[in-house]
C-alpha cells in the first residue's frame, strides 16, 4: 500500500473482515468491512484507524451494531514477523439494550503476522 499526494496515511479498502474469540457468547458478523488507514509513527511502526466498518453483535436475541469512523484500532510494530496490537472501542450505531454496553464494543488482542512474512510501515 502506498499513500498518494498529500495524504499522510495509506488507505486499504478491505474485502472482508472477521472477528473470532468473542466472549460471553456473542455472535459477531461483519456487515461492511470498510477500510483501514495506516499512518507512519517512527521506525517501521504505525497506527491503524478504521472507517466504514460495521459489525453486528447478537446475544440472547439482542442485536447491537457498531460502526467505525476514523476510529483508532491499534498499532503495527513492523518487522519479520510484525506485531499487531489491537486496542479499540468501536462506537455503538444502533441498539438500545443494556446488553450493548456503555456505547462501545471493546477489542483487545495482540498477534504476530504470519502472512505476509514481514510488514514495515515506512515514512513517505
Nearest-angstrom CA–CA distance, 122 and 46: 8
Q: What confidence category does residue 1 fall into, taking pLDDT thresholds of 50, 70 and 90?
A: low
| Euclidean distance between CA atoms 5 and 119, whole angstroms | 22
Tell me the whole-structure pTM to 2 decimals: 0.78
DSSP summary character for residue 46 = E
| pLDDT interval class at 51 (50, 70, 90) | very high
Let me know: does 88 contact 124? Beta carbons within 8 Å: no
Helices (H), 24-111: none
| pLDDT at 4 exceeding the cut of 70 | no
**Taking residues 57-77, what's their average pLDDT?**
88
Mean pLDDT of the chain: 81
Q: Quick one: average pLDDT of 60-73? A: 88
Task: Tell me how far apart the alpha carbons of residues 120 and 28 are, in angstroms, rounded to a whole number.
Answer: 30
Bridge partner list, 72: 49
Amino acid at each position: 500500500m502506498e499513500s498518494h499526494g498529500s495524504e499522510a496515511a495509506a488507505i486499504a479498502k478491505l474485502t472482508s473482515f472477521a472477528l473470532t474469540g468473542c466472549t460471553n457468547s456473542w455472535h459477531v458478523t461483519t456487515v461492511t468491512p470498510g477500510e483501514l488507514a495506516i499512518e507512519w509513527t517512527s521506525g517501521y511502526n504505525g497506527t491503524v484507524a478504521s472507517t466504514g466498518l460495521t459489525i453486528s453483535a447478537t446475544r440472547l436475541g439482542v442485536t447491537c451494531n457498531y460502526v467505525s469512523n476514523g476510529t483508532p484500532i491499534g498499532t503495527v510494530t513492523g518487522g519479520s514477523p510484525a506485531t499487531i496490537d489491537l486496542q479499540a472501542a468501536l462506537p455503538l450505531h444502533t441498539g438500545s439494550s443494556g446488553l450493548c454496553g456503555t456505547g462501545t464494543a471493546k477489542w483487545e488482542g495482540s498477534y504476530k503476522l504470519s502472512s505476509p512474512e514481514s510488514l514495515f510501515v515506512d515514512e513517505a
